[in-house]
Amino acid sequence: MATRAPERADAAPPRRPAGKRRPTGRHWRHAVDVKASPYAYVAPFFLLFCAFGLFPIGYTLWVSLHEWTLLDDEHTFLGLENFRVLLTDSYFWNATYNTLSIGILSMVPQLLLALWLAHLLNRPLRAQNFFRITLLLPNVTSVVAVVVIFSQIFGRDFGLINWVITSFGGEGIAWRDASLSSHLAISTMIMWRWTGYNALILLAAMQAVPRELYEAATIDGASSFTQLRKVTVPMIRPTIAFVVITSTIGSMQIFAEPLLFGAYTLTGGQDRQYQTLSLFFYENYMRLDFGYSSAISWMIFVFILIIAGVNYLLTSRMKGNLR
Amino acid sequence: MTGRRVNNRLTYLTLTAVAFFFTIPLYYSIVVASRDNASLASVPPPLFPGGNFFENVSRVFDTVPFGLAMLNSVLVAGTISISVMFFSTLAGFAFAKLRFRGRNILLLMTVGTMMVPTLAGIIPLYILMVKLEWVGSLYAVVVPALVNAFGVFFMTQFLSRALPTELLEAGRVDGCTTWGLVWHVVFPAARPAAAVLGMLTFMTAWNDYMWPLMVLTPENPTVQVALSTLAAGYVNDYVMGLAGTALGTLPLVIVFALLGKHIIGGIMQGAVKG
């Protein structure tokens, strides 16, 4: 299906621009070309999206209403039973708590830091490109690599951080064992990978803010920090909202970090202390319980919609207050 | 005047510190990857690379089919990026410069789909792959990714700015069909943005993890799947895990460091309207 556009191309080969034009006879062909070809150009995306995007999402709902395993061809209709069980499943709420905790621990400092870094870069500096490239290096590193590297750094016995702590006379921390420490470790990985990326997006928005505003603020004696707060942030609010929403969607789907930090245990630690929703989903998927895991993925989708909605309301409300 | 200079110096100092923290984990991974497991236990831990890298790498190749994984990742990421560049340019051109019924609503849908989490449809996608008998084959990873909403949106934005409408009109007057315009006008104009999109797509595809983990097998993995096998099975063999990581990550990091300027320009351009 992905070859539709080239097929059309064969049907209407490029004519030489210099050739003599014969308006009659080709008129209808021209009309068809102008009217229909736009659809041919957008068709590959929409066909692929319908087949591998839209259809699966709807079908997830259908699967979630059944007792459905891969091994069995019979799928008993259960109605909302899967969702009822899910909402009373303490493991589900544990995973929800962990996801929110890791999400907040990683997003709040990350956004503040990104905003500040973007602010620092938003002025004529030498070595701009060097700083920008180093900001994005962690993002080029794959999640798997990040977790492998940080698992070593956060190791209990030979980890770099514990070495620093013990050499200052402190006691090494078993990062994986407790809820808070494991969340902090995972949040650090997420922050390391995404802060620079978000800083660059914010920086792009900052560069579109008219210079005169800053000049006026400088003449009024506003400090750099005041300018960030009173000029930059209000001006780039849509981009901040965009970054918040995309980071939220990302943080609802944190998967590789808890999986690999726990050396591939599906429970996210012995007491599920860092099992996120995506990992909880994956645990049930690995049991081939497709009905139940579909219900989980729909709940994650619903959470994302709620958070995005709240976010939208908050930002539009803030805009309203400004006027 | 002095105030500003102090301020500037502080800026450089902060940025350098941040750059340090952003690169030190990568550096340390090389340190560990080039040591042996015993030296990790020493106090203080090793801070400079040792001479064991190639020995560790050869153990990586003994443990997982790493050569095949590299080849697979190059094939997957290469195919996906070429296809994404091609189809996104076509769709982006249609959205940016052609008039047709339903254009706005379709564009809005495209942007909307960027918000949908992959997780929401992943089970039926898996069932679909089982039905198509693509589980374990690269098709399962490549085909669903051949074009995506981000690429379409990215090219739409670029072409609506960078492609002069007069040029298209001139082509029409000369008797060009729409496809002729695509070939002679759109593709040359789209080249810089398409290159950036291609590099971004390559990186994303190279680093993709959850879906390949679900549909591929350890016998026919991508780099990320092979790495996670390493990380899973050999908990205490840090040096081997990190040697594999370095091998699977560094080529991309180096390419990025060289071409980074353009890629960053692309990300920032794409972001302004987002």
What is the pTM assigned to this prediction? 0.85
Compute the mean pLDDT over every residue in chain B, rounded to the nearest whole number. Answer: 86
Mark B192-227 as b/e (b = at least 16 C-beta within 10 Å): ebbbbbbbbbbbbbbbbbbbbbbbbeeeebbbbbbb
Question: Is residue A322 over pLDDT 70?
Answer: no
**Residue A51: other Cβ atoms inside 10 A:** 15
Q: Would you state the CATH architecture of domain B64-233? A: Orthogonal Bundle (1.10)
**Residue A45: other Cβ atoms inside 10 A:** 29
Task: Tell me, yes or no, if B206 comes closer than 8 A to chain A by beta carbon.
Answer: yes
CB pairs under 8 A between A and B: 316
| A242 contacts on B by Cβ (under 8 Å) | 271, 274
Q: For A63, what's the count of Cα atoms within 13 Å in the CB-facing half-sphere? A: 31
For residues A167 and A115, what is the distance between their CA atoms, to the nearest angstrom?
33
Question: Is residue A6 over pLDDT 70?
Answer: no
Q: Average pLDDT of A55-84?
A: 85
Task: Tell me, yes or no, if B25 comes closer than 8 A to chain A by beta carbon.
Answer: yes
- Percent of the residues in chain B that have a pLDDT greater than 90, as a whole number: 30
Give the pLDDT band (50/70/90) at residue B236: low
Closest residue, chain A, to B247 (C-alpha): A145
Give the pLDDT band (50/70/90) at residue B1: very low
φ and ψ at residue B11, rounded to 5 degrees: -60, -50
CB contact under 8 A, A55 and B88: no
Tokens of B17: 């510190």
Could you report the per-residue pLDDT of B97-126, keeping only the tens digit for each? 888 888 999 998 888 887 778 888 899 999
Q: Tell which wins on pLDDT, A285 or A4.
A: A285
CA distance A323 to chain B (A): 22
φ/ψ bin of B46: left (φ > 0), alpha (ψ from -120 to 50), beta (otherwise) = beta
Could you report the per-residue pLDDT of A176-229, keeping only the tens digit for each? 888 899 999 999 999 999 999 999 889 988 888 888 888 888 888 888 888 888
Q: Average pLDDT of B190-206?
A: 88
Which is nearest to B271 in space by CA: B195, B200, B183?
A: B200
Question: Is residue B29 over pLDDT 60?
Answer: yes
3-state secondary structure of A66: strand
Mark B38-56 as b/e (b = at least 16 C-beta within 10 Å): ebbeeeebeeeebebbeeb
**Which residues, in sequence order, are bridge partners of residue B189?**
none
Cis ω before A109 (30° cut-off from 0): no
The pLDDT of residue A3 is 36
Question: Is residue B163 over pLDDT 80?
Answer: yes
| Interface test with chain A among B99, B119, B183, B259, by most A beta carbons within 10 Å | B119
Write the ipTM. 0.85
| Interface test with chain B among A32, A33, A41, A190, by most B beta carbons within 10 Å | A41
| B201 contacts on A by Cβ (under 8 Å) | none
Residue B221 CA: distances (Å) to CA of A17, B105, B129, B207: 49, 39, 16, 13
Task: Tell me, yes or no, if A120 comes closer than 8 A to chain B by beta carbon.
Answer: yes
DSSP state for residue A76 in the 8-state scheme: E
For residues B59 and B247, what is the distance between their CA atoms, to the nearest angstrom?
12
The pLDDT of residue B232 is 74
Question: Is residue B76 over pLDDT 70?
Answer: yes
Q: Average pLDDT of B258-266?
A: 77
- Stretch among A23-32, A111-120, B35-44, B244-253 having the lowest mean pLDDT: A23-32
3-state secondary structure of A125: coil
The pLDDT of residue A323 is 38
Helix ranges (H only) for chain B are: 2-33, 37-40, 53-63, 66-97, 103-113, 122-132, 139-142, 149-162, 165-173, 178-181, 187-207, 210-215, 223-233, 238-273
Give the pLDDT band (50/70/90) at residue A318: low
The pLDDT of residue A88 is 93
Compute the mean pLDDT over every residue in chain A, rounded to the nearest whole number. Answer: 84
For residues A42 and A37, what is the distance between their CA atoms, to the nearest angstrom?
9
Residue ranges of chain A assigned to CATH 1.10.3720.10: 89-322
Domain coordinates in residue numbering, chain B: 64-233
Instruction: Give CATH superfamily name and number for A89-322.
Output: MetI-like (1.10.3720.10)
- Contact (Cβ atoms closer than 8 angstroms) between residue A138 and residue A233: no
The pLDDT of residue A201 is 87
Task: Tell me, yes or no, if A239 comes closer than 8 A to chain B by beta carbon.
Answer: yes
- Stretch among A63-72, A80-89, B128-137 having the lowest mean pLDDT: A63-72
The pLDDT of residue A19 is 46
- Percent of the residues in chain A that have a pLDDT greater than 90, as a whole number: 28
| B231 contacts on A by Cβ (under 8 Å) | 144, 147-148, 151, 260, 263-264
